[in-house]
Structure 1
Amino acid sequence: MKWIVGLGNPGSEYEATRHNAGFMVIDELARRWQTNVGQSKCKALIGEARVGGTKVALLKPMTYMNLSGESVRAFMDYYKARLEDAIIVYDDLDTETGRIRLRYQGSAGGHNGIKSIIQHTGTQTFNRVRMGISRPQPGFRIVDYVLSPFAKAEQPDVRKMVEEASDAIEYSLTHPFEETMAKFNARQNA
């Protein structure tokens, strides 16, 4: 089974914020695959789909961002899921808004959700799709920035980014992640 974890914060007040870019991708995949991400289990909302013969679970941790690793660990333990079959999707300050970046390892880079996953899994090696949110203007606090909605002018780029991330995840279901990384990272540089 493949599993896709979109990081974000639960609650309508966080719905369209930059920190919920991971949830946006899960919602797009659920729409494409006509599945409901509504089952409450493993400290997450979960949906399951069969995509081209592959069973795929979609997760939205309900622990709040800083404790995302609790949900990932609970899912791994309950389903005997392997971390190498997962893709973690999350917002990234160091990637330009509207762009994605695929990686299979690295530090948390200051992202508390990734820090929690590393802490609960004991490794920095897992597949990731980083969703660009850019850095705020000087003087803007990071916490306020990530919990703010995307500006109206950014919406077309955000929509394209969510679609591109979803395309990459769909491609990864039938191709090695390294190949997916090469293909979709190259698109970002074109």
Structure 2
Amino acid sequence: MHMIVGLGNPGREYEKSKHNTGFLVVDELAERYNVTVWQKRMDALVAQTVIDGETVLLVKPQTFMNNSGQSVGPLMRWYKLDQQNVYVIYDDMDLPVGRLRIRTNGSAGGHNGIKSLLANGCDQFIRFRVGIGRPLPHHDVIDHVLTPFPPELVPDYEKGIKDAADAIVGCLKLGVDVGMNRFNPHKKKRSE
């Protein structure tokens, strides 16, 4: 069994915000696999589906971003999941809009949702980071993450959501190492 966790904030006012990238990726997977039944469990919305013959839990914590670990940690322990079978999707300001990066470990990098996971005993999960870019100079980080994209950036962002969903399915089917090789962006080799 795998658990796919999208980080975000509950509530209508946050639906289109950049900080809800994880929720949007989980919603994309739910749509692809015709998931319509969600249950409230341990401060999260949880749905179950089957991907490539394996049971997969789709999870959207309802604790607000900064307390995500208070939901994810107990769910992981309740289902007796190895941390390597927990995939966490979240927004990343250090990546260009829509760019995907998969990692098997790392620090919180200043992301409060990841800090909360680490504080609640989750530190070996697989990270799927989707770029939201940096705020413009002299603009507030909180405003940046809690507002939608301007129309000109929406196509790149929506492609990033679909790419992240593709990568998650790919990692489930092929394994994380092969998935990382296939779905992480590759650096161009310099010509000599």
Answer yes or no: same fold by TM over 0.5.
yes
Corresponding residue of 2:160: 161
| Residues 8 and 64 in structure 1, CA contact (< 8 A), matched pair in contact too | yes
Match of 1:59 in 2: 59
2: distance between equivalents of 1:188 and 1:157? 19
The residue identity in structure 2 corresponding to 1:155 is V
1:152 counterpart letter in structure 2: P
- Verify: 1:20 aligned to 2:23, yes or no: no
Q: Is the 8 A contact 2:3 2:56 kept in 1?
A: yes
- Conserved? CA contact 2:73–2:122, under 8 Å: no
Give the superposition deviation at 1:188. Answer: 8.1
Task: Provide the residue aligned with 1:129 in structure 2.
Answer: 128
2: CA distance, partners of 1:36 / 1:3 = 17
1:176 corresponds to which residue? Answer: 175
Q: How many residues align?
A: 189
Q: % of aligned pairs identical?
A: 44
Change (3 A) 1:117 1:141: same
> Under a length normalisation based on structure 1, what TM-score does the superposition of the two structures give?
0.95
Change (3 A) 1:178 1:38: same
Q: 1:71 aligned to 2:51?
A: no
Distance (whole Å) between structure 2 residues aligned to residue 39 and residue 172 of structure 1: 25
Structure 1 gaps, min length 5: none
Which secondary structure does the structure 2 equivalent of 1:8 belong to? coil
Bigger Rg, which one: 2
Per-residue CA shift, 1:31-56, capped at 9, x if unaligned?
00001262100210011001121100
Conservation of the 8 A alpha-carbon contact between 1:100 and 1:188: no
* TM-score, L = length of structure 2: 0.94
Superposition RMSD in Å: 1.5
